[in-house]
């Protein structure tokens, strides 16, 4: 099934110069980038992304740290489209805790922090990237970050040659 998902290259990924590498990995996998922008957000906007539901599940300190983290500099937001893209992108990003992320994943190759370290330092886990966790979240997050006019439809050449489209 063709799906769309939101991906954020968080401020630490931007500051470390990993934007091109992350985009390259998705495109090499055959996924399409149908929306892309660099943006710096404020805490009001960040609170719409990291909703109070996170505070209920993980606590106020964790949410506050996430709000600080995502607003510490510009980030790159993109909408990725492809067959089962939500699952594919989540697999490519690796586990949320970088310490346990599999080598070969984005987090496994570029980060190593742990939840324990972050908790001891009262800071967020710097894990470079966000990917929508399921179809419902993807739809909500895409609508938050992009307007319909920001999203583009096109065919990749591999779609034309491989799928006869």
Whether 44 shows a pLDDT value over 60: the answer reads: yes
- What is the 3-class SS of 88-145, one letter each residue? HHHHHHCCCCHHHCCECEHHHHHCCCCHHHHHHHCCCCCCCEEECCCHHHHHHHHHHH
Under the banding of pLDDT at 50, 70 and 90, the label for residue 58 is confident
Under the banding of pLDDT at 50, 70 and 90, the label for residue 163 is low
Distance between CA atoms of residues 110 and 76, nearest Å: 17
93-97-99 Cα angle (round to 5): 100
Distance between CA atoms of residues 88 and 121, nearest Å: 32
- The catalytic site residues sit at 130
Domains belonging to the chain, first-starting first, are 2-153 (3.30.70.141)
The pTM of the full predicted model, rounded to 2 decimals, is: 0.92
> Quick one: pLDDT at residue 161?
62
Whether 55 shows a pLDDT value over 80: the answer reads: no
pLDDT digit string (tens) for 80-131? 999 999 999 999 999 999 999 999 999 999 999 898 998 899 889 999 999 9
């Amino acid at each position: 099934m063709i799906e769309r998902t939101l991906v954020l290259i968080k401020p630490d990924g931007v500051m470390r110069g990993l934007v091109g590498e992350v985009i390259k990995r998705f495109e090499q996998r055959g996924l399409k980038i149908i929306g892309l922008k660099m943006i710096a957000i404020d805490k009001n906007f960040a609170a719409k992304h990291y909703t109070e539901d996170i505070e209920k599940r993980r606590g106020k300190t964790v949410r506050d740290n996430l709000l600080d983290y995502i607003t510490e500099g510009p980030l790159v937001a993109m909408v990725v489209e492809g067959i089962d893209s939500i699952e594919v992108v989540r697999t490519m990003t690796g586990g949320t805790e970088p310490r346990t992320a599999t080598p070969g994943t984005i987090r496994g190759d570029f980060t190593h922090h742990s939840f324990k370290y972050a908790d001891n330092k009262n800071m967020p886990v710097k894990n470079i990237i966000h990917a929508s966790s399921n179809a419902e979240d993807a739809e909500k997050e895409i609508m938050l970050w992009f307007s319909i006019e920001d999203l583009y439809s096109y065919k990749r050449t591999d779609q034309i040659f491989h799928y006869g489209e």
